[in-house]
């Protein structure tokens, strides 16, 4: 008999003498048990000493976006709380897939973390034909950091001053209106497709490479409406350069208390951006618990909450289970829409 454990072979030759075989088998079991004990002890010691080196948070999108801004708010505070440097590394591409895949393959020691989103742990699994990571099996949820609703914005010259008027305008001229997005298969694309489906209207999709170029064309009157984050478009709304028709959440946002929600016209409409901290799968629970506790302390700081509020983000926090539930909900919510609209992206 030959057993492989942790790349080491243990062999007990079979033969006529049963007593020798049993003695060899007992020795093999004892050796494996000892190896397991050493492994558990090493993990325990590593968790107790954590952290003792630089911690890296990978942002799976380019610098300057909402995910990056949030990472750079929490990074220095988490560094203070853990007593070790925390660096932010931007690794964008493929809707966040490249950065997420890098963390999925990293050592599960708490030194490489991912600030994931509803794209990396939601829409990507539905729209990409091949995903280079599994959003459930390859990650350990740590904490849900923040959430923020999208906003439905139109060019100021469009003859619609409410969600109901936009729907009526689209129904009057089916297929004439155009909407922009961050890119094909992005959360803003799917949000607009969900909106047209629930409103029973038709509109033409114009994909862009991110929020900035989409907003430029909306400001220039080249497209009619977009779904965009509060942090990137609030200034345009307040200056009157863009018209806000509705907040894409079930409740109004304190940042714009007079702005109606889309759900007030289309009951149940809710597309919220969220950011969560993930570790690679199999990261020891004591390490996950320590990061979670420190992050909750960081999120409770008045200066952090104030910085988030200015960007239109709500602090969430809580245990890893809250983030796990959010991922589960996000993974399920887009499947039918993507299939119905035939939205597929080649990696």
- Say how far apart CA 225 and CA 219 lie, in whole Å: 10
Beta-carbon contacts of 316 under 8 Å, excluding residues fewer than 6 positions away, are 143, 144, 145, 146, 147, 274, 299, 322
Which tokens hold the place of 42?
A: 């090493």
Taking Cα atoms as reference points, which of 219, 208, 156 lies closest to residue 184?
208
Check pLDDT > 90 for residue 38: no
- pLDDT tens per residue, range 181-200: 988 898 999 999 999 999 99
> Across all residues in the chain, what is the average pLDDT?
89
Task: Kindly indicate the confidence band of residue 40, based on its pLDDT and cuts at 50, 70 and 90.
Answer: very low
Long-range pairs for 164-168: beta carbons < 8 A, 24 or more residues apart: 164/265, 166/225, 166/245, 167/199, 167/201, 167/265
Match 């004439």 to its residue by tokens. Answer: 176
pLDDT above 90 for 47: no
Give per-residue pLDDT as tens, 194-235: 999 999 999 999 999 888 899 999 999 999 999 999 888 999
CA distance 338 to 143: 28
Looking at residue 298, its pLDDT comes to 98
pTM: 0.81
* Mean pLDDT (whole number) for 92-121: 94
């Amino acid at each position: 008999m030959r057993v492989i454990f942790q790349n080491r072979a243990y062999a007990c030759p079979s033969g006529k003498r049963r007593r020798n075989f049993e003695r060899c088998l007992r020795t093999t079991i004892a050796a494996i048990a000892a190896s397991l004990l050493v492994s558990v002890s090493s993990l325990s010691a590593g968790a107790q000493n954590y952290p003792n080196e630089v911690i890296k948070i990978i942002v799976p999108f380019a610098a300057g976006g909402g995910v990056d801004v949030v990472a750079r708010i929490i990074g220095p505070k988490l560094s203070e709380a853990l007593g070790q440097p925390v660096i932010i590394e931007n690794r964008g591409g493929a809707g966040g897939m490249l950065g997420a895949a890098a963390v999925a393959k990293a050592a599960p020691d708490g030194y490489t973390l991912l600030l994931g989103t509803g794209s990396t742990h939601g829409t990507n699994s539905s729209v990409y034909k091949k995903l280079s990571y599994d959003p459930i099996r390859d990650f350990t949820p740590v904490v849900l950091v923040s959430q923020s609703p999208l906003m439905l914005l139109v060019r100021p010259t469009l003859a619609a001053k409410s969600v109901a008027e936009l729907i009526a305008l689209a129904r009057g001229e089916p297929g004439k209106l155009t909407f922009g997005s961050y890119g094909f298969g992005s959360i803003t694309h799917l949000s607009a497709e969900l909106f047209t489906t629930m409103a029973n209207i038709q509109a033409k999709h114009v994909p862009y490479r991110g929020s900035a170029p989409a907003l430029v064309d909306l400001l220039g009157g080249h497209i009619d409406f977009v779904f965009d984050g509060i942090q990137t478009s609030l200034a345009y709304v307040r200056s009157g350069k863009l018209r806000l028709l509705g907040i894409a959440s079930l409740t109004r946002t304190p940042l714009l208390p007079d702005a109606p929600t889309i759900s007030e016209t289309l009951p149940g409409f809710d597309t919220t951006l969220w950011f969560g901290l993930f570790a690679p799968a199999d990261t020891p629970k004591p390490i996950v618990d320590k990061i979670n506790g420190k992050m909750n302390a960081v999120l409770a700081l008045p200066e952090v909450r104030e910085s988030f509020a200015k960007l239109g983000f709500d602090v969430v926090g809580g245990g890893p289970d809250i983030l796990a539930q959010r991922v589960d909900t996000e993974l399920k919510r887009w499947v039918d829409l993507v299939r119905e609209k035939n939205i597929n992206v080649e990696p």
